[in-house]
A and B are shown apart, each in its own frame.
Chain A
Amino acid sequence: MKWGMSRGIKRATVYRSVAIALVVLALELLCRAGLITHLTMPPPSEIVRDLWKILVSGSMTGAILKTLTDVVIAFAAAVFAGVGAGAVIHRWRALRDGLDPLFATYYAIPIYAFYPLFIILFGLGDTPQILIGFMLAVVAVIVNTLNGLDRVPRALIKTARIYRLGPIKTAARITLPFAAPYLFTGVKLAVAYSFIGVIGAEFIMSRSGLGYEINFAYNNFDNAIMYPLILLVMLAATTVNMTLYHWEKKLLARRGRG
């Protein structure tokens, strides 16, 4: 049974790889045949070659580091603030009642619309971009933390009380570990949202970073820089997310067996 299942998943992986390879190949052929003009898109092989050149030359290293630093700051702040806020809101019923409508509609609000305001408040430095990434990510962490804490069995909390654990020890040793799979969902979303927030904000208006460089290259019709950088962003986001996706599956599988 188990063997059959893992073989089925492997088969899906093979099909997926073949499908992606075919799409890339088709793009390559369309570009080479001139059906997609060079002004619209260079062939994938050329994009990869240009990306390699850019990475080796080091011309974009500054932009890459700047973006990654901002993403990491936004992400870390969102996870710490989100788990902390989640734990507090969970214990404080009235606060939760008040915030529930906000959480329910939060992701319907175009957060980018606040970006102009942040630029006026904080200037064109890194702060507005980090703030957008943070704002996109933090609520996902809060909501998933609450979701996880809601599912902690009463028996565990009572056990903590019997052992006279304080609120912080209870959280560190019992409730947060129990809620780990839900927290992980929040963390996973936080990664994606900090990427989306920071790069999106850079793209809209900023003076540096990958989003800025892509927009700059677009305005100069510089496909030899634009496409490789887009590819780089896609690769980075996909790699990080797929790693987390598999990690989460493993975590859930272990929890299921345990």
Chain B
Amino acid sequence: MRQSWRPARNAAILIAAILVLWQALFEFAGRHALTPPFETFRYMAELLSTSSFWSHLAETGRAFAVALVIAITLGLFIGLVLGLHRLSAEVAEPVLVALYSIPKITLYPIVLLVFGIGVPAKIAFGAIHGIVPVAIFTMNAVRNINPVLIKTARVLKLSRWRAIRFVLFPAALPEIFSSIRIGFSLTLIGTLLGEMFGSQRGLGFLLMTAIGLQNVRVIMAVTLLLVLFAAGVSTLLLTIDRQLHRRV
């Protein structure tokens, strides 16, 4: 019991510390640089009550959702195929690692040239960010499955599909879930970056316009909303993730 509320207490302490630091930074840097915590929360709530903000939010949400589905589906598929075939995995791994570590933002002009300005480009850019880590994690998850499980599946003469469905997938599930968790964050970053260029709508566009106008209130409120969303979902996914890892 004591164990279960400890993380919550730690998170509360951390949040309090961040708020204090934030307020202190405001006192130090002044109103032209940032807005204080309370005011930022209030302005965020104000934005959330306007319909024009919701249309931007919905735009980002839709693009992100589609990008995430594409990233997870393709990433799982690539990871599974490579993980099941040793040589393919050895051939592909360094390429995937290299793709993971390049600054993908430099590829964005190419994405824009291929897809044109608009929603598909954002989705593609979000998905590009997510696919590689999901594929790498899934591949390693499948490669690291206990060989006894695979041999058992063979002894039981399970078909390839049934072996994947009943043995490999459940065995690799905790790692696969971790991959989805990481894919989530990177796809979100990719989608937002995609919106910052060549887009007329969405939160990324709002941020970019606000930078141009030096509108600190909007920058702070949108940043806060994004951080709350990302940290909230990530905490939720992390809790499930830890539960899954404990079960095995």
Q: How far is the CB of B119 from chain A (nearest CB, A)?
A: 19
Over the window 106-118 of chain A, the binary record of Cβ atoms lying under 8 Å from chain B Cβ atoms (1 yes, 0 no) is 0111101110110
Given A16-B95, A238-B98, A121–B106 Cβ distance below 8 Å?
no
Chain B residues within 8 Å of A203, by CB:
103, 105-106, 108
Chain B residues within 8 Å of A233, by CB: 102-103, 106
Known: A15-B87, A120-B214, A204-B196. A40 touches B113 (CB 8 A): yes
A83 within 8 A of B: no
When the two chains form their complex, are residues B184 and A8 in contact, meaning their CB atoms are under 8 A apart?
A: no
Q: How far is the CA of A196 from the CA of B133 in the complex (A)?
A: 15
Tell me the minimal C-beta distance from A101 to chain B in angstroms. 4
In the bound complex, CA of A191 to CA of B100 (Å): 12
* Residue interface bits A198-237, CB-to-B below 8 A is 1, else 0: 0110011100001100110110000000100110011001
Number of interface residues of B (CB under 8 A): 60
* Residue in B10, B223, B235 whose CB lies within 8 Å of A105: B235
Is A153 on the interface with B (CB-CB < 8 A)? no
Question: What is the minimal beta-carbon distance from B39 to any residue of chain A, in angstroms?
Answer: 15
Among residues of B, the one whose C-beta sits closest to the C-beta of A14 is B91
Q: Which of B13, B185, B197, B210 contacts A116 (CB 8 A)?
A: B210
CB distance from A85 to the nearest CB of B (A): 15
In the complex, chain A residues whose CB is within 8 Å of the CB of B13:
97-98
Q: How far apart are A215's CB and chain B's nearest CB, in angstroms?
A: 7
Q: Is B207's beta carbon under 8 Å from chain A?
A: yes
B153 within 8 A of A: no
- If over half of A's interface residues share one DSSP class (helix, strand or loop), that class is named, otherwise mixed; here it is helix
Q: Are A102 and B220 interface neighbours, CB within 8 A?
A: no
**Which chain B residues in 2-37 approach chain A with CB under 8 Å?**
6-7, 10-11, 13-14, 17, 29, 32-34
User: A104 within 8 Å of B by Cβ?
Assistant: yes
Which residues of B come within 8 Å of A, CB atoms?
6-7, 10-11, 13-14, 17, 29, 32-34, 87, 90-92, 94-95, 97-98, 100-110, 112-114, 182, 184-185, 188-189, 192-193, 196-197, 207-208, 210-211, 214, 216, 219-220, 222-223, 226-227, 230-231, 233-235, 238
- A: residues with CB less than 8 A from B are 8-9, 11-12, 15-16, 19-20, 39-41, 97-102, 104-105, 107-110, 112-114, 116-117, 119-121, 191-192, 195-196, 199-200, 203-205, 210-211, 214-215, 217-218, 226, 229-230, 233-234, 237-238, 241-242, 245
